[in-house]
Amino acid sequence: MADYERTIAAVSSGLTESGISVIRISGPRALEVADRVYRSPGGRKKLSEQKTHTIHYGHAVAADGSVLDEVLASVMRAPKTYTREDTVELNCHGGVLVTRKVLEALFRAGAEPAEPGEFTKMAYLNGRIDLSQAEAVMDVIRAQNDFALSSSESQLSGSISRKVRHFRDIILDVTAQIEAALDDPEHYSVDSFRESAQQSIREVRAEMAQLSESFYDGKVLKEGIRTVILGRPNAGKSSLLNTFYGGDRAIVTEVPGTTRDLLEESVRWSGLSFLLTDTAGLRETEDKVEKIGVDRARNAARQADLILYLIDSTESREDFSSEDRDALASLSGRKCIVLLNKTDLAGEACAVEEEKRLREIFPDFPVLSISAREGLGIEKLKKRMAELFLNGKIAYNNEVILTNERQKMCLDDALQSIDLVLDNFDAGIPEDLLTVDLMDAYRSLGKIIGEEVEDDLADRIFEKFCMGK
């Protein structure tokens, strides 16, 4: 166990008016401190004499013996606790003032105020969780959608840690083989395992690269998919936003060019968040304000993770307008769905024909028929939008996905070192130099799980936590 002498206390449930608030006390003197504040109905029971994982009714009292609140005290002895230290949790009535008073009484009784994230830091320092799991704790708390929650729950249970340890094991194995051959050239020769070592490194590199590449999708899915609705004026962009939103969020008119600024809404389905942005219609215009709107639309499109491009099916279909062609050409290679709108007016046969034609003209993009106003084809569209990310397997996906920026940087450092190793293998560089880069990769990977992390870095990570966690 870490040499961690502090006994700390904080409100773990958030200091707002609520039914119950929870004060957590943790550390070597947690029971002793709690005893000074807790009083049983008969006045004789001591928490420090109770069995682990038991709950006790009583009161919290001030130093002068006056009753502060009615409480339930949970006694949890080390090591089976969140922090692996002795822990007492007091459930008080959830008023802000009463909770503060009980907390103050605990400070007077010898507890110190916990820093943000300090309980989780204790769990880390005491070896119950590693650094990637500690980071996942915060992500679980902050999760805004099902994807973010399930990926951070999986990371909390150690999915990233297991992968990283597996990478490290392989790297260490190869290093050990090389070292053995260098130490004892009479019995081992590097040449005999050169091929297999190279192969192992190549394989581990591929797995590491896959994990690193999962970061982009992971980050987008966690924070919300920035989805921009584009199209010429009157194509039905505001109507589509309203349909997604399920209310009248944007102004819908027959007058082209009414949406001049960007309108944003966050909506959720299939466990994902979509941050929808309606934009000014794309067209050449002399109107100064509209021009700014069009520029903003183009800018938003550049930063988007997904673009919904609307085309009005009732407009002349001889040839698509140059605006549509230019805009879609500039979106090549991006995640984009072309939507043929107002198909309620065009008739089904016409829509099918038109959809086919659009597919031929814009083979890069999926094409769907919808009616934004009547809500036709919207469920299919939603499904398609989700499918563009992680093949739509979000809820039941077992793949480990990296979502933490710091972890991604460490992984990429390790990848760079591995690439050096592979280059040097090819160039026939002496083996002792290979082990230098191998060990660099090993150390960079170690930083993900906190094995090669200096204290100040760990401190910086935990500072970002919320109070009481």
Chain positions contacting ligand GDP, by CB under 6 A: 231, 233-239, 252-254, 259, 281, 341-342, 344-345, 371-374
User: Based on CB atoms, which residue is closest to ligand GDP, 24 or 232?
Assistant: 232
Min CB(279)–ligand GDP separation in Å = 9
Q: CA neighbours within 13 Å on the CB side: how many for 323?
A: 16
Min CB(320)–ligand GDP separation in Å = 16
Pick the closest to residue 443 from 435, 50, 29 (CA basis). Answer: 435
User: Based on CB atoms, which residue is closest to ligand GDP, 85 or 265?
Assistant: 265
Min CB(275)–ligand GDP separation in Å = 18
Pick the closest to residue 200 from 176, 173, 178, 180 (CA basis). Answer: 173
User: Based on CB atoms, which residue is closest to ligand GDP, 94 or 236?
Assistant: 236
Take residue 245 and report the two structure tokens written for it: 């939103």
Min CB(83)–ligand GDP separation in Å = 54
User: Based on CB atoms, which residue is closest to ligand GDP, 312 or 437?
Assistant: 312
407 Cβ partners below 8 Å, 6+ apart? 132, 135, 160, 448
Q: Which DSSP category does 257 fall into?
A: T
Q: What number of residues does the chain have?
A: 469
Q: How many other CB atoms are found less than 10 A from the CB of residue 169?
A: 12
Min CB(372)–ligand GDP separation in Å = 4
Pick the closest to residue 437 from 200, 174, 163, 166 (CA basis). Answer: 174
> Closest-CB residue for ligand GDP?
236
Take residue 205 and report the two structure tokens written for it: 């590199």
User: Based on CB atoms, which residue is closest to ligand GDP, 9 or 370?
Assistant: 370
Min CB(461)–ligand GDP separation in Å = 45
User: Based on CB atoms, which residue is closest to ligand GDP, 17 or 248?
Assistant: 248
Min CB(307)–ligand GDP separation in Å = 14
- Residue 396 to residue 277: CA distance in whole angstroms: 28
Query: Is there a contact between 25 and 88 (Cβ–Cβ < 8 Å)?
Result: yes
216 Cβ partners below 8 Å, 6+ apart? none
Min CB(365)–ligand GDP separation in Å = 18
User: Based on CB atoms, which residue is closest to ligand GDP, 207 or 248?
Assistant: 248
User: Based on CB atoms, which residue is closest to ligand GDP, 309 or 462?
Assistant: 309
- Residue 200 to residue 311: CA distance in whole angstroms: 51
Element (H, E) at 131: helix 131-142
155 Cβ partners below 8 Å, 6+ apart? 132, 133, 135, 136, 139, 400, 403, 404
Min CB(316)–ligand GDP separation in Å = 16
Min CB(370)–ligand GDP separation in Å = 7
User: Based on CB atoms, which residue is closest to ligand GDP, 36 or 291?
Assistant: 291
Long-range contacts of residues 95-100, Cβ cutoff 8 Å, at least 24 apart: 95/17, 95/21, 96/15, 96/16, 96/17, 98/68, 98/69, 99/11, 99/15, 99/21, 99/23, 100/15
Query: Is there a contact between 211 and 402 (Cβ–Cβ < 8 Å)?
Result: yes
Query: Is there a contact between 235 and 281 (Cβ–Cβ < 8 Å)?
Result: yes
User: Based on CB atoms, which residue is closest to ligand GDP, 85 or 354?
Assistant: 354
Side chain identity at 133, as an amino acid letter? Q
